[in-house]
Structure 1
Amino acid sequence: MLETYIINLSSSLDRWQHIRGRLDDLKITYNRFEAVDGRSKAHPLFSRYNDKLRLKYRSGKLSGGELGCFASHYLLWKKCVELDKPLLILEDDIRITEQLKTAIQISEKYISRLGYIRLAGIEPSKGKLSSIKSLGEFEFLEHSQGPSGTQAYVISPTTAQILIDNATSWYLPVDVYMDRYWSHGVRCISLMPYPIELADFESNMLRSSLANKTIKIKLNRELTRLKEQIYRFVIRQKYIFKSHTSKIS
């Protein structure tokens, strides 16, 4: 079975007890990975944050919580490469359904071909979905626009290295970065219906605050957004929904 890592802050004991109890019930083995807490102190990886680039895409700086979340996932991508085997990565603010074990078995079979498989998403129906393969009660679907969130996913060492190589500058939350298939080439694929749902926990990750925007900043941001939409459309037409017939056997 896939090796599983749970991202958990040392201060979030209630979340840890909740998720470990559920995984124990399902007889799924797991490892705890101590999350980077960007709210309390800086981490060496935070030097990758690029405020100027951030300003082109969003208002306000990335918060300490967002940087900590990015760093936690980044470090697990590095572990995936070091171990040279696919990993199931879970955050601790989730609700696990009975279908997780089956989803893990399916993911284990297809991860070498797909590289990255989402098992959760905040907005699962966001953007156009292209069917890749039906598997009984489950189906592999490809997103034209990412469903947001990093609560649960399976990743291969090759894909982890791609995400590492393209994350030299941090200016977006990690889930937004991972969904940008048109910039790093990692296809955004979900196994649905999701076996993981968002639990009713108070968020540990404060979002960035909005900043005042000058007309110049607004115009630059709109131009950047338009360029991104065009590039995403071109990549989607060329590689995803037309030519690669993303079907898998």
Structure 2
Amino acid sequence: MQGKGADYGNQSINQSINILIINLKKSTQRRQFMQKQFDELQKCFPDFHLNYQFFTGVNGNEEANHPLFKKYNSKKRLARKGQDMSLSQLGCFASHYLLLEKCVQLNEPVIILEDDAILLDGFYDVLKYAPTVANYFEFFRLSNRSGGNNVKSAPLFQIPNTNLIISQVYKGWANTTGYFVTPRAAKKFLTQMKEWIYNVDITMDRYWENKVHFCALLPNVVRPQDEFLSQIQMNKTKRSISVKLKREIFAAYDRVNKCLFDLLH
């Protein structure tokens, strides 16, 4: 993490944004990993107040009867994906859901990170830019896209004095390692999440449903730590011919709706 950052004129150098970090109670190593990164960042920028806190995430494997899991529609999930969500996937969904609620309660933008996020050069610039009046975005990803960032995109705004560009993207990110979100966008996500069918990252990717402008920061300023084994277990079942056919029908329906939304917006 380099000791430099963009200049925002009269904006206060001490201005900060709430950073909420999802961390399972048992994941002490990950908590220490994140703490160390923020300690190092603070040393680089001693005059900048880092406002971050850890949020105890929902461990689906240990909280199988969590009340939020009632939102999960297993029947629709099986029809569209051919397999159930695992308890750990439900726990991940619930954790992000609760922090989106927290964003609405605070009534201010926040940055949400998972506890395997590696902070890259440019993260500090985002922290300075995010709370300023220059930031008119309601949501944008901070992490890299699963499968690579080589996707169709349209540049919208370059953060001053940096190489960081917020772009509109047209392909799913499949990643919730880190993102900036406003109360307005959080409310849209929560409305969409009254019923859970897809994993939380895929749900948030479905911008033609939630009407949240699908933006991402390129290059990314956080990425997941590969050395940590994923705590999200996935159910793997063999799909029948009928299940595969239903899945393809729903996928085609999604492509049509997405295409129509892109044409109209």
- After TM superposition, the score normalised by the length of structure 1 is 0.90
> After superposition, what is the alpha-carbon deviation per residue over 1:210-239, rounded to whole angstroms, capped at 9, x for unaligned?
x33333322222111111101101111211
Q: Give 2:18's aligned residue.
A: 3
Change (3 A) 1:108 1:53: same
Residue 63 of structure 2 aligns with an amino acid whose one-letter code is: K
Q: How far off is 1:147 after superposition?
A: 1.6
Q: What SS is found at the alignment partner of 2:131?
A: helix
Share of identical aligned residues, percent? 29
Corresponding position of 2:129: 106
Residue in 2 that maps onto 1:57: 80
- Once residues 110 and 232 of structure 1 are traced to their aligned partners in structure 2, the CA distance between those partners, rounded to angstroms, is 31
3-state SS in 2 of match to 1:36? coil
Helix, strand or coil: the match of 2:130?
A: helix
Q: C-alpha separation between the residues in 2 aligned to 1:208 and 1:106?
A: 40
Q: Which amino acid counterpart does residue 201 of structure 2 have in structure 1?
A: D
Counterpart among 220, 229, 237 of residue 202 in structure 1: 229
Alignment of 1:129-168 (within 5 A): 129-135=153-159, 136-168=162-194
**2:147 is the counterpart of 1:123:** yes
Superposed CA RMSD in Å reads: 1.6
Aligned length: 238
Correspondence for 2:252 among 221, 226, 244: 226
Aligned pair partner of 2:35 in 20, 30, 33: 20
Q: Which residue number corresponds to residue 247 of structure 1?
A: none
CA separation in 2, counterparts of 1:192 and 1:46? 34
- Name the CA distance, whole Å, in 2 between partners of 1:190 and 1:126: 12
Distance 1:56 1:129 in 2: 31
The CA deviation at 1:113 is: 2.5
Q: Extract unaligned runs of 5+ from structure 2.
A: 1-15, 43-49
**1:97 corresponds to 2:124:** no
Mapped pair 1:169 → 2:195: yes
Q: Give the deviation of 1:132 after TM superposition.
A: 1.1
Q: TM-score, normalised by structure 2?
A: 0.85
Find the aligned partners of 1:236 and 1:149 in 2 and give their Cα distance: 21
Choose between structure 1 and 2: higher helix proportion: 1
Q: Which has the larger radius of gyration?
A: 2
Shift of 1:99: 1.7
Is the counterpart of residue 30 in structure 1 residue 52 in structure 2? yes
- Written as runs of structure 1 = structure 2, the 5 A alignment for 1:229-248 is 229-239=255-265
Deviation at 1:110, TM superposition (A): 6.5
User: What amino acid is aligned across from residue 134 of structure 1 in structure 2?
Assistant: Q
Instruction: Give the Cα–Cα distance (whole angstroms) in 1 for the partners of residues 91 and 32 of structure 2.
Output: 21
Is 1:217 the counterpart of 2:217? The answer is no
Query: Which is further off, 54-63 or 225-234?
Result: 54-63
Shift in CA distance, 96/217, structure 1 to aligned 2, threshold 3 Å:
same
